[in-house]
Structure 1
Amino acid sequence: MTGIRDIEVVVFDVLGTLVDEPGGLRTAIHEALPASDEAAVDHLLALWQQHGEAEQRRILQGLRAYASTETLDAEAARLVAGRAGLSDPAAVARLATAGQRLPPWPDSAAGLERLARWFPLVGLSNASRTALLRLNAHAGLRWHQALSAEAARAYKPAPEVYRLALDAAGCPPERVLMVAAHAWDLRAAQAVGMRTAHVRRPVGDPPASDDAFDWRFDELDQLVGSLIRGQVASG
């Protein structure tokens, strides 16, 4: 079986793994509705997330034509605005772009910077091309290539999204490592032959007892250190 020293390319999930998606959306809702209390904001955040997840599922099931995250976020922003009585068009428009201003986890930018000296790094996200470009710039995330699921007109966990990364990597799947905080993401990557590493985040989807991922880390720095040591050991 491929060991950590055999990894050639590292692929990262972005939303939740490297940036705090719920936290960023919560902040944007607070900014749009400063008089709202925490319970109201939590309710509106749940409404936003439920809409996005439900529509992505419908697209995956063939019940809706592909629509990018920009479209889904605009729909979610209108839902939130309607529920909260927000009628200012400029405020709703800014709220719709909240997914482009998500804060990175404290160790994300430095971890990628360190790892990029040793490996080609690929970001693989459900975020649209435009949203991913602006999000990467906002969060200071360094990539050698950033891939949007929009190129496959699908959403993870559809296998064609992971094949975007494999095509870009140009090496056997067992030499490509998928890193994510979401167990569902890693299961799908595993199904197309990629190696998998779970990194624990406060908003992630933890592995189940029967998940057999290649590696599990409590912190991003542990993953970075292990990969670099593997490279050093391999000469």
Structure 2
Amino acid sequence: MFVTLDLFSALVDSRAGAAPVLADLAPEAVDGALLYDEWDTRSKATQRDRTDWVPFAEHCRAALAATWSTHGWPTDDSVALTDRLLASLPDWPLWPDVADALPRLSATHRVGVLSNVDDDLLARTRVAPLVAEADRLTSQRLRAYKPAPALYRRAVGAGVDVHVPASARDTRGALEAGLLVVRVARPGHRVDPAGPRPAHVVTDLHDLPAVLESLDVEA
């Protein structure tokens, strides 16, 4: 069974990783967690709304520039600021269960990543050593961004059987595209109340193999 997980919600605590960096980059004192929420919301919006494909790093830059502009801060150095933000990716922490649970899962299943990210950025993260390069289904490779149905259809075409999201948009997007979903509940993430609800939810990735086994039996 080919099982993919989202990078920035299911595997990496991106808020914990990016918030202090954004606070340090800001030209005045600000709550880094709130600044992250502003930036992340704008980044997700441009990934959803932009019709032409551009690198994930450009979505990050556009979101940072828009966030800075809202605060009345200069945006002419948005490229350099984004480079500094993304340079911190190796320090963004994994959720506590990932380092142990993912290798255990890989012993019995093909495990990959299905995520909005550029190849080189994923390679910087702490997830990279845990997932084979060939099984990193990035938006760069699939030429689409969540929550577009095209990304999920192309993932199925690449052999994905089950996807494990955490965020609202990924859970809804995968379900509406017809993927089999096992959601991992993470702090700060929820299910979209306007969308379908996943039939299978775990709170720890160590519990995922048992759910996958039950799905395999049902199939």
TM-score, normalized by length of structure 2? 0.79
State the Cα distance separating 1:111 from its structure 2 match: 1.1
Q: Which residue of 2 is the match for residue 206 of structure 1? A: 191
1:143 maps to which residue? 131
1:48 paired to 2:39? yes
Say which of 161, 167, 171 aligns to 1:186.
171
Post-superposition offset of 1:112:
0.8
Give SS of 2:196's match.
coil
Please, what is the CA RMSD of the aligned residues? 3.3
Alignment coverage as a number of residue pairs: 213
What is the Cα deviation at residue 195 of structure 1?
1.2
User: Mean alpha-carbon deviation: is it higher for 156-165 or for 113-122?
Assistant: 156-165
* Preserved contact between residue 10 and residue 178 of structure 1 (Cα < 8 Å): yes
Contact 1:102/1:139 (8 A) holds in 2: no
Match of 1:21 among 7, 14, 36: 14
1:107 and 2:97 matched? yes
Which residue number corresponds to residue 75 of structure 1? 62
Letter in 1 for 2:53: Y
Report the CA distance between 1:98 and its aligned residue.
4.3
Letter in 1 for 2:15: P
In structure 2, what is the Cα distance between the partners aligned to 1:165 and 1:111?
Answer: 23
Tell me the distance in 1 between the aligned counterparts of 2:176 and 2:67. Answer: 36
- Structure 2 SS opposite 1:150: helix
> Is the 8 Å Cα contact of residues 10 and 121 (structure 1) preserved in structure 2?
yes
Of the three residues 198, 202, 215, the one matched with 1:217 is 202
Counting aligned pairs with the same residue, the percent is: 26
The farther-off stretch of 179-188 and 122-131 is: 179-188
Using the alignment, how far apart are the partners of 1:210 and 1:159 within structure 2? 14
What is the distance in 2 between the residues matched to 1:182 and 1:152? 20
Corresponding position of 1:133? 123
State the 1:220 CA deviation.
Answer: 1.8
Asked whether the equivalents of residues 176 and 196 of structure 2 are also in contact (C-alpha less than 8 Å), the reply is no
Higher gyration radius (CA):
1
CA deviations on 1:104-132 (whole Å, 9 max, x unpaired) are 10111211110000000121001112212
Per-residue CA deviation, residues 38-88 of structure 1 (Å, 9 max, x unaligned), is 3xx3443233123212212221xx3xx222211122233445566456998
Extract unaligned runs of 5+ from structure 2. none
* Partner deviation per Cα, 1:19-46 (whole Å, 9 max, x = no partner): 11222110212343597243xx344323
Cα distance, 1:189 vs. partner?
2.1
Inter-CA distance 199–57: structure 2 relative to 1 (3 Å threshold): same
Q: Calculate the TM-score normalised by the size of structure 1.
A: 0.75
